[in-house]
Amino acid sequence: MNSKFKPLFESFSLSSGVELDNRIVLAPMTNFSSHEDGTVSDAEIAYYERRSNGAGLVITACTYVTPNGKGFPGEFAGDRDEMIPSLTRLASAIKGQGAKAILQIFHGGRSCPPELVPNGEIVSASAVAEEKEGSVVPRALTDAEIEGIIRDFGETTRRAIEAGYDGVEIHGANGYLIHQFFSPHSNRRDDRWGGDVNKRMTFPLAIVDEVKRIVAEHAKQPFAVGYRFSPEEAETPGISMDDSIQLVNTLADKGLDYIHVSLMDFWSASRTMDDNRPRIEIILETVGGRTPVMGVGSIHTADDALKALETGVPLIALGRELIVEPDWVGKVADGHESEIKTTLTKDDQERLVIPDPLWNAIINTPGWFPVV
């Protein structure tokens, strides 16, 4: 190994006691490849095994915590105890390759396709549709339903513990239900679940508290809890950087194992603040060392990862990069970082062990992946 990359391979201890072998994380990415009944497929297992033999931590694609939260075709389920064997199979595949396994837990809210949820009924914080063509106006959840979904996040966490995961990541990013409650665009409520920025935090924080309560009650060994969020959104009114600073400041005192900043570009600057620094630096300053911050976004090479680590972010997540180059970590460890592939071709599916639905999305979504 080139000695300058040693910091990427230093071990890291999460506050829960989960020990990571290195600083590289497989980011959570939907692969559309589970069975219709919500169980994990053989193709998914092979895909994760191919990418779990180098990263210190693997975060799965999101699993839905309740039937009306299924956000994608081919998404695997965590909403009932019958899914524990399926969840166990995935955790075992990841851990069998040496990585720690984190289950990302999720509700799609107004982003769910009607054909994937019971009776085609889409729900959200308020009856406000997404700003995109063909969007359905969701039904606003009742107080009792909101309480039920909070419990569902806890119950899926219990299943993750029973299935052998090393932790869960609460998916509060990318426009899904938790994000929808925090956003002034999608949350127009005037009860205890909506209003000013502090009231819009009520639902996300209630989920954090419930998940942590379940972990304290059920986990017999170290079990991590992370939280993923998107710092800003394009809608007006939308989540601003100031809103997110307040959220992060609160989350940093919640005893989480990490806060995961969902960005397309690690170094991107704020759209809503008069501060030209990268958003990740503003977030690190806000957190002030109280909780580890995980960064992600267009980190392609070992030099990119090292530069990101030098900001003070202790964990670097790679998404598309580990799809294109499953041996990314091994090549850096062996001193072959110059051989890391950063593009793929239409003939690479079998070599890269990518399931058909994900491969079709990669090939047919221009600009998403560097296909040459």
* 77 DSSP assignment: B
Let me know if 48 is exposed, middle or buried by CB neighbors in 10 A (0-12, 13-18, 19+): buried
CA-nearest of 154, 152, 207, 199 to 178 is: 207
Q: Which residues of 170-196 are buried (b: 16+ CB within 10 A; e: fewer)?
A: bbbbbbbbbbbbbbbbbbebeeebbee
Distance CA(129)–CA(288), nearest Å, equals 36
Question: What CATH number does the domain located at 3-341 have?
Answer: 3.20.20.70
Q: Which two tokens stand for residue 337?
A: 């970082």
Residue 93, pLDDT score: 98
pLDDT in tens, the chain (372 residues): 999 999 999 999 999 999 999 999 999 999 999 999 999 999 999 999 999 999 999 999 999 999 999 999 999 999 999 999 999 999 999 999 999 999 999 999 999 999 999 999 999 999 999 999 989 999 999 999 999 999 999 999 999 999 999 999 999 999 999 999 999 999 999 999 999 999 999 999 999 999 999 999 999 999 999 999 999 999 999 999 999 999 999 999 999 999 999 999 999 999 999 999 999 999 999 999 999 999 999 999 999 999 999 999 999 999 999 999 999 999 999 999 999 999 999 999 999 999 999 999 999 999 999 999
Q: List pLDDT tens digits, range 177-208.
A: 999 999 999 999 999 999 999 999 999 999 99
Residue 197, pLDDT score: 98
Residue 11, pLDDT score: 98
Q: Which residues pair with 168 in a beta bridge?
A: 103, 225
Q: List pLDDT tens digits, range 323-362.
A: 999 999 999 999 999 999 999 999 999 999 999 999 999 9
Distance CA(346)–CA(253), nearest Å, equals 47
Residue 206, pLDDT score: 98
Let me know if 329 is exposed, middle or buried by CB neighbors in 10 A (0-12, 13-18, 19+): buried
Can you list the pairs that 336-341 forms with residues at least 24 positions away whose Cβ atoms lie under 8 Å? Answer: 337/2, 337/5, 337/301, 337/302, 340/300, 340/301, 340/302
Let me know if 221 is exposed, middle or buried by CB neighbors in 10 A (0-12, 13-18, 19+): exposed
Residue 21, pLDDT score: 98
In the chain, at which residue ranges do the beta strands (DSSP E only) sit?
12-13, 19-20, 24-26, 57-64, 100-106, 123-124, 139-140, 167-172, 224-229, 258-261, 293-296, 315-318
Q: Which residues pair with 100 in a beta bridge?
A: 57
- Catalytically annotated residues: 176
